[in-house]
Amino acid sequence: MKTVYLQPNVAFEPLICRWYAWPFLMAPATLSLVMKNRLLPILESFVEDPEFHRSAVRNPKMRGGPFVDHDGDVAAAETLLAQMRSSVRPQLELAQALEKATELLEQTGKGNSLEPLYERIPQPLRGVVELGYDLHNHASLRLIEPLLYADALYDTSLQSVFLRPMGSKPRPFVMSTPLIDCSGGVLVNAPFADPLWDELARAREEGLDEPAFASLRSRVQQHCADMTRFDSLFTETPPAIRHSAPPQDGVRVRYFGHATLLIEGAGQSVLVDPSFAYSASAGLDCFDFHDLPQHIDYLLLTHNHQDHVLFEFLLQLRHRVGTVVVPKSNGGFLQDPSLRMILEKVGFKSVMELDELGTIALGDGSITGLPFLGEHSDLHIRSKLGYAVELAGKRVMCLADSNNLDTAMYRRIARLVPSPDLMFIGMECEGGPMSWLYGSFLTKRLSREHDEARRLNGSNFARAKSIIDDLRPRGVFVYAMGAEPWFSHITSIVYDERSIPIVESNKLIDYCMTRDIPAERLYGKREIALTQQATGSVGVNQDTP
């Protein structure tokens, strides 16, 4: 009896209304506004003038813009547009209600009591909002998020997953291009929380005998109109499991690309911001699923942006994760939906919110949440954390896209948190304007001057240098740059030697070297070993440059 395995290059592309799922498409309120103000207009524009979009996609200067990358039949896009308009009517009504309620508060919330306004709130929002002022008499509404998820506004019938083998062809930029042509894979219309995805993910390594495969096939078929390519997603060749135990006397850190770190030691495994290459499409040597341990004790998410919270990989890891750790949100404010609620709806059973300087004990070690300024366009967004992970007496600090806007904060942290052996910091210091990510939520268009000034950027050289001077790490690694070729469909980033983030991170590396601090900008794959014999220094495994 033969055993088959899910092929290592099969992607799980999570979709909502056939658009790649990112956090703002999961929370009901943000979905409604992104659908109304971004996704539908992009697809409508493509249907009206496809050649304009095709020309823009070919222009490198337009990369990351609102242009659909589809050179196939426009009729298929027209069909998808009609389906979207029909299926998201309740969400569009919610979007209109949010905009009208905001206008109502702006016009009438002048310091007087807001109680009479509850009767004037549009019907889709009745019962799910609280009206209030800040201490400066600015009126706003707070969403009661659990009630939104309990309503039909959270519609799992909009969710699906596209299974397809990845090759060398680049993927289109997912924030501008929906899945229009399904001919290259298998579209499965099952919710993200369905245990079906755990079974499929297990099949990548555990394999299925003939009865088990038939059972799985039958379950998929219940949610799939076309099973033609399903069998071709499997192989009889067993996978090459490459994970090995870390050093017994220390800690090993593996870099998987972009912001993904696997920290192992003292019998614990901690995975940060998971995303992986599919080997067949990577274009360079890399770690992938087969380099992970069978069980991941803690999965840490730093913040609620689409390049750090990727459901494509979270769905494939769900069956092997113990606890997911996320930062607390601002409790119902539109721009800061709860990551905990989103992940619970996606099917994770153990999700823990961590506050700034909150700590989780790991035997003799710990995970500590670190304050995180910047990269969110000056919006009050609380759901962002760096992490200090201590295992086996070694300390690893993951600062993600922290922008050192106030050096006094890091001086305060330095008095409370020991200096790390390794520090990982993002330096994508150019960033997009505020409207690129948050524009769908604005009732009034920002001036160009304000939009350009309020950017989604991390630390430049001067700011990163100050962090290093205050926290005194023994080794520094620049990461989370979005530079790997397999990640361009998420970030749309392509660097050259003149790119500002490259110039600034080169300055930081040179500065660290003058201080005898090992430093490097990570790309593709890296392994760093911290051993007891290397106390006070950084031991690096040179086998994985």
CA distance 290 to 308: 20
**Residue 145 in contact with residue 125, Cβ under 8 Å?**
no
Mark which of 175, 206, 240 sits at the end of a domain.
240
Q: Is residue 51 part of a domain?
A: yes
DSSP state at residue 414: H
pLDDT tens for each residue of 66-112: 999 999 999 999 999 999 999 999 999 999 999 999 999 999 999 99
pLDDT at 215 over 90: yes
pLDDT, tens digit, 9 for 90 and up, residues 234-276: 999 999 889 999 988 899 999 999 999 999 999 999 999 999 9
Q: Please list, in sequence order, all residues whose beta carbon lies within 8 angstroms of the beta carbon of residue 137, skipping any fewer than 6 positions away.
A: 109, 110, 111
**In the structure encoding, which two tokens stand for residue 286, read together?**
């890399």
72 and 183 Cβ atoms separated by less than 8 Å: no
In which domain, by residue range, is 167 found? 1-240
Least-confidence region, from 163-172, 218-227, 448-457: 163-172
The average confidence (pLDDT) of the chain is 94
CA torsion sign for 361, 288, 502, 309 is negative
**Together in a domain, 195 and 315:** no
Asked, for residue 545, whether it belongs to a domain, the answer is no
483 part of a folded domain: yes
In the chain, how many domains are there? 2
| One domain, residues 78 and 100 | yes
As a whole-number percent, the residues of the chain with pLDDT over 90 amount to 89
**CB 27, CB 341: distance < 8 Å:** yes
Same domain for 195 and 324: no
Tens-digit pLDDT profile for residues 145-177: 999 999 889 999 999 999 999 987 889 999 999
Is the domain of 309 the same as that of 337? yes
Answer whether 0.85 is exceeded by the pTM. Answer: yes
Q: Are residues 227 and 262 in the same domain?
A: no
Which of these three, 240, 263, 280, is where a domain ends?
A: 240
C-alpha–C-alpha distance, residues 382 and 365, integer Å: 26
Answer whether residue 140 is part of any domain: yes
Q: How far apart are CA 16 and CA 446, in angstroms?
A: 28
Are 231 and 283 found together in one domain?
Answer: no
- First CA to last CA across the chain, in angstroms? 42
- Tell me the DSSP string of 389-403: EEETTEEEEE-TT--
Domain identity same for 189 and 312: no
Sign of CA dihedral 349, 353, 357, 359: negative
Q: Is residue 181 part of a domain?
A: yes
**Residue 188 corresponds to which tokens in the numbers above?**
């499965």
Domain-terminating residue out of 188, 218, 240: 240
Write out pLDDT tens, residues 282-297.
678 899 999 999 999 9
HSE at residue 113, side-chain half, CA atoms within 13 A, is: 3
Q: Give me the pLDDT at residue 444, please.
A: 86
Residues 6+ apart with CB under 8 A from 322: 295, 296, 297, 298, 350
- DSSP label of 242: -
Cα–Cα distance, 302 to 309 (Å, whole number): 8
Give the full edge-to-edge strand order of the sheet including 268-272.
351-354, 321-327, 296-300, 268-272, 260-265, 250-257, 526-531, 539-540
Q: Can you say how many angstroms the Cα of residue 285 is from the centroid of all Cα atoms in its chain? A: 23
Give the CATH number for residue 274.
3.60.15.10
